[in-house]
Chain A
Amino acid sequence: MKPLAQLYVQQFKTTLAMMFQYRASLLIWTIGQVLEPLVYLIVWSVVANSSGGSIGDYTTADFAAYFIVLMLVNQVTYTWIMYEFEHRVREGILSVALLKPVHPIHSDIADNISSKIITLPIMIAIAIIFSFAFHASVAPPPWAILVFIPVLLLAFLVRFVLEWTLAQAAFWMTRVSAINQSYFVAFLFLSGQIAPLTILPHPVQILSLLLPFRWLINFPVELLLGRLTMIETLIGLGAQCGWLIVSIILLRIVWRAGVKVYTAVGA
């Protein structure tokens, strides 16, 4: 375990140095991360206002709180590996990783966490500003705040493993953009990014229960908003653990198959 910890520490230093070079790109990326939930926040607030102040069990202020928390949860859980992997396979950069005696997923996780350690304070500051601007507030019970930490951690792990596994489609196809986009669109509707799942049409809600996405975004957000009972939280935790196991199994299978394809054809 200790050598792995050292690897993560070193990756953090590496990522930190790289981010300093790319601070302009980082700023641009952050704007995108903020703008999307902000736009939905505004749109739903407008709709709520014109419908007597609330839609379903969300008032205008509730919508604001929902999307601000969502912005943070999204920031903590998102990955960029699906864009990156195709590039790695195509340019043969993956060969360099395959020569190393550690699984490449570790440096990716480390890189992901490292860059978020830096951007998260900025996002939290923005979230606080938005809370004032949109009169949003959260009042979760203390147990919910405690449980939120492991829930968020699980959400991050599941999303990371899932997207890393999906990214390996690059081993088999040269144009993964179609797959990536399909994933992101499904994610948008079924995770709660476009609207709280409770106000989406019934078929969508049912579908979201069967797929992993809602447990990565909607579930942690609702938890911190204090909208879940203990039972519902336990079910959610169970779902997260279940999906973690499933995605790790999938990862191992797909990775082994992918490396076989890659090393058969030529690095």
Chain B
Amino acid sequence: MSYFRIFLAFLRVSIYVETAYRINFIVQLFQSLLNLGMTLGGLAIIFTYTNLLGGWRPQEVLALVGVYFLVGGIIRLIVQPGMEQLIESVRDGTLDFKLAKPADAQAIVSLQRVEIWEILDIILGLGVLAYALVKLGETIGVLQAAEFVLMLTAGSVIIYSFFLILSTLSFWFVRVENILVIFQSVYEAGRWPVSLYPGWLRYGLTFIIPVAFATTIPVEALTSRLNWQTLAGAIALSIALFIVSRIFWKIGLKRYSGASA
């Protein structure tokens, strides 16, 4: 499919740019490991004092950390860079060049930048997750695995749509450069099970800034905590949000191109 080829083209550019500096790889690896070490260190301290964190076993929280890094890596690899670039190109007018291309504009702006070193976080996340799964071994069945993949996909779609909606705001408000930073700050809360948090915070992390869908809910699928309402809800939300974000994007695009909305 041609969009895949577009993505490959952007990917190739990123690789050429980044591998020009070998030091980049080493620095990124160091930082990813440091980040992981910090998270695991915090976990180690917590679990010296307790066996269960809000009902979660250490291996389950470890799985959460793995997913946190995995999804965080995916977001920073392909979702966030494109959106940041979009906001910038609206501001300096270079969006016009992309709109002139013979492919769907949304696809182009979504795939346009790949921060390839984030792949390290994805690999680390997968590693931690795999280790945790081994420790959890006996309780993971095919159904849980399937639900996990489903929730991961739904979560990714929700996050992507969320980013797109925020970035589309730049068609109306010029000074939204930092709006994506809000996700970075709030995402940190995803390192812990969202069920730990008081109601108002849990609500905020689910429906206002959908961190829960990225981290806790997929892991709940793995640990048999997922009820069918949440499962159905996540799927429904992902579809709805995707459609809404695309409509919003089209409206924003029309406004940008000068046509009446």
Residues of A within 8 A of B (CB): 21-22, 24-25, 28-29, 31-32, 35-36, 38-39, 42-44, 46-47, 50-51, 55, 133, 175, 177-178, 181-182, 185, 188-189, 194-195, 199-201
Contact = CB atoms under 8 A, between A and B. Distances in A.
B174 to A, nearest CB: 11
Given A24-B175, A181-B34, A189-B41, A46 B27 contact: no
B185 to A, nearest CB: 3
7 closest A-B pairs (Cβ-Cβ)?
Answer: A32-B185, A25-B178, A28-B182, A185-B38, A47-B50, A178-B27, A46-B54
A35 B53 contact: no
B49 interface: yes
Interface string B176-195: 11110110111011011000
Interface in B28-56: 30-31, 34-35, 37-38, 41-42, 45-46, 48-50, 52-54
A177 B53 contact: no
Nearest to B41: A189
- Select the residue from B46, B176, B177 with max chain A CB neighbours within 10 A: B46
B243 interface: no
A42 B54 CA distance: 11
Interface in B148-190: 175-179, 181-182, 184-186, 188-189
A199 B46 CA distance: 10
Contacts of A42: 192, 196-198, 201
Contacts of A38: 201
Given A177-B31, A178-B31, A36 B188 contact: yes
B176 to A, nearest CB: 7
- Select the residue from B52, B177, B178 with max chain A CB neighbours within 10 A: B178
- Select the residue from B38, B177, B188 with max chain A CB neighbours within 10 A: B38
B27 A35 contact: no
Given A24-B176, A47-B46, A175-B23, A181 B35 contact: yes
Nearest to B175: A24
A39 B23 contact: no
Tell me what chain B mostly uses at the interface: helix, strand, loop, or mixed. helix
Given A28-B178, A182-B34, A194-B42, A43 B186 contact: no
Interface residues of B, number: 37
Interface of B: 23-24, 27, 30-31, 34-35, 37-38, 41-42, 45-46, 48-50, 52-54, 175-179, 181-182, 184-186, 188-189, 191-192, 196-198, 201
B185 A31 contact: yes
A55 B47 CA distance: 12
B192 A194 contact: no
A177 B24 CA distance: 11
A201 B46 CA distance: 11
A22 to B, nearest CB: 8
A115 to B, nearest CB: 15
B189 A35 contact: yes
B183 to A, nearest CB: 10
B45 A195 contact: yes
A35 B178 CA distance: 17
A38 B48 CA distance: 21
Contacts of B179: 24, 28
A31 B182 contact: yes
B46 A35 contact: no
Contacts of A24: 175-176, 178-179
Contact of B192 (A43, A175, A177, A200): A43
A32 B23 CA distance: 30
A50 B57 CA distance: 13
Given A32-B188, A39-B191, A189-B41, 10 more contacts: A21-B175, A25-B181, A29-B185, A31-B186, A43-B46, A50-B50, A50-B54, A175-B23, A178-B34, A185-B38
